[in-house]
Amino acid sequence: MSGSVLFHVQYLLGIGHLQRSLHIAEALANNGIAVTLVCGGEPISGLPTHPAIRFVQLEAVKARDARFELIDSAGNPIDDALRQRRRAALLAVFAELQPDVVIIEGFPFARRAFRFELDPLIAAVRESRPRPHLLCSVRDIVVLRDDPARHRQIVERVRGEFDAVLVHGDPAFIPLDASFPPASQLADRLIYTGYVGPRAEPPGAVLSAPADEVIVSGGGGPAGLALLATALTARKEGCLADLHWRLLTGANLPEDEFVALSQDAPAGVTIERFRRDFRALLRRCRLSVSQAGYNTVLDILATEVRAVLVPFAAERETEQLLRAERLAALGVAEMVRESELSADSLARAIERAATRDATKIAIDTDGASGSAQLIAAMIGTGAGAAPDLAASLSRGTIGQ
């Protein structure tokens, strides 16, 4: 197999979008497809990478906080000069690469603030001969206002410009119309790939951590600090104090906040940043306490660990709440709403979860491979055939 893919991913608070895109890029590279991953967020160290993937780092843009004010790496609001430099850099990569497939993570369902570079990229795709296939890559749940006009705009853009929407989920668990009611109007464009997670950790991996811990993870961004601080208070007040606790902060948590959290930790509590062996830690622990982000939930389901979920719900965020509610209804996890989070409510949920049996649910988690198979098939069809291929595959998940 040969061919090339340009993959644009913009992450703002956490790194979940980047991790999911990396898994897909790695599956493509393993299939002999050249991948250029264009990253628009802050560079992240410590993430595993495939040697065959080319990374292009745009000038970084991130969100100041959950209100999603866009700022540059120095903390200043982004300006037209930065927008122009990013746009020029992205279009230069496209012109140099001349890819067979262009994948845009999130847009047009999200990332409207990046139309300054995405609209020109889409125009360049449409004007190219032969025309590359243009795909949208979205997670299982999209976050949108209940705005019929906005919904119509998304449907029109997908139908007019995109060959397919890769939905990285399982409709038997959460169909796209649970968060995007007009999904049926895109039935011939939607392809459920399955959930996208990492390959299983190597068997027999040696961990620098004891078994039977309580693992508290704050997600990939700074938003999990309140959960970590509350969990630390619950531990100091006696919750499962006979067990060792390990608190894992977000990779982007500011250093001063990381230091303050570490200095507040009593004996028997370890504070760390991102761990590559997170799944292996979960397999050995007594209990997981976390938010309900896409990647973390996949890790919980893969390891069948007892879990407490505190879904991130600041501003208009509904994605994690919907996912956590589904899992709680299925008996997979205890849930504490962010608005009700306290040391006492968290401790009670932890103690309930610690005494229950782990519950397993069957969902499709082979989404990286499924996405790679679809993209490889599109490359094999040549330009212009992607909508027909998408329609044939949209009747179910890939491989069925």
Q: Each residue of 9-35: pLDDT tens digit?
A: 999 877 889 989 999 999 999 989 999
pLDDT of residue 380: 76
Q: Between the ranges 36-50, 59-73, 161-175, where is the mean pLDDT highest?
A: 161-175
Average pLDDT, the chain: 88
pLDDT of residue 143: 87
Range 181-186 average pLDDT: 96
What residue ranges do the domains of the chain occupy?
A: 4-197+365-393, 214-355
- pTM for the model stands at 0.86
Instruction: Quickly state the pLDDT bin for 399 (edges 50, 70, 90).
Output: very low
Range 373-398 average pLDDT: 62
pLDDT of residue 315: 63
Helix (H, G, I), strand (E, B) or coil at 38: strand
Range 171-200 average pLDDT: 92
Domain 214-355 annotated CATH 3.50.50.60: no
Range 283-299 average pLDDT: 93
pLDDT by residue (tens digit) across 62-92?
A: 988 767 789 999 999 999 999 999 999 999 9
Instruction: Quickly state the pLDDT bin for 200 (edges 50, 70, 90).
Output: low
pLDDT of residue 398: 41
pLDDT by residue (tens digit) across 87-113?
A: 999 999 999 999 999 999 999 999 999
State how far the Cα of 85 lies from the Cα of 256, in Å rounded to an integer. 32
**CB contact at 8 A, 72 and 59:** yes
| % of the chain with per-residue pLDDT over 90 | 68
**CB contact at 8 A, 277 and 201:** yes
- Higher per-residue confidence, 364 vs 380: 364
pLDDT of residue 91: 98
**CB contact at 8 A, 280 and 222:** no
State how far the Cα of 314 lies from the Cα of 327, in Å rounded to an integer. 20
Per-position DSSP letters for 2-25, written without gaps between them = --EEEEEE--SSSSHHHHHHHHHH
pLDDT of residue 269: 96
Across 282-357, the runs of DSSP E, i.e. the strands, are 287-290, 307-309, 334-335
pLDDT of residue 201: 59
Instruction: Quickly state the pLDDT bin for 400 (edges 50, 70, 90).
Output: very low
Which CATH code fits 4-197+365-393? 3.40.50.2000
Q: Give the relative orientation of helices 16-30 and 294-303 as an angle to the nearest 10 degrees.
A: 60
pLDDT of residue 222: 62
Instruction: Quickly state the pLDDT bin for 156 (edges 50, 70, 90).
Output: very high
User: In the block, which residue shows the tokens 């299983």?
Assistant: 200
Please say if the pLDDT value at position 383 is more than 80. no
pLDDT of residue 384: 47
- Higher per-residue confidence, 393 vs 270: 270
pLDDT by residue (tens digit) across 313-360?
A: 876 778 999 999 999 999 999 999 999 999 999 999 999 999 988 778
Sign of CA dihedral 140, 142, 147, 149: negative
Please say if the pLDDT value at position 230 is more than 50. yes
